[in-house]
Amino acid sequence: MTGTLAPTQPLTAADRCDRCGAQAYVRVVLNSGGELLFCAHHMRKHDDSLRRIASEIQDETDRLHSTPATAAENER
């Protein structure tokens, strides 16, 4: 095993916030090697603290503001 990180998989609807159980849009990989998942609300709430202990943050909160392709097609 090498010291490089495996590519991070996209978050899915099955990924849940470790704080409240809502859909997770942020994965925080900790310096200690573990990971935590957060909804957008809890990431904003704990952002400063998490950035101090994170080796990587995968932020997919932009998906909250995008329109799925099928919905966009139905609007035409």
Mean per-residue pLDDT, 43-54: 97
Top pLDDT among 16 and 68 is at: 16
Q: What is the mean pLDDT of the chain?
A: 87
**Alpha carbon 56 to chain centroid distance?**
11
> Above 50 in pLDDT, residue 19?
yes
Residue 41's CB: how many other CB atoms inside 10 A?
14
> Above 90 in pLDDT, residue 71?
no
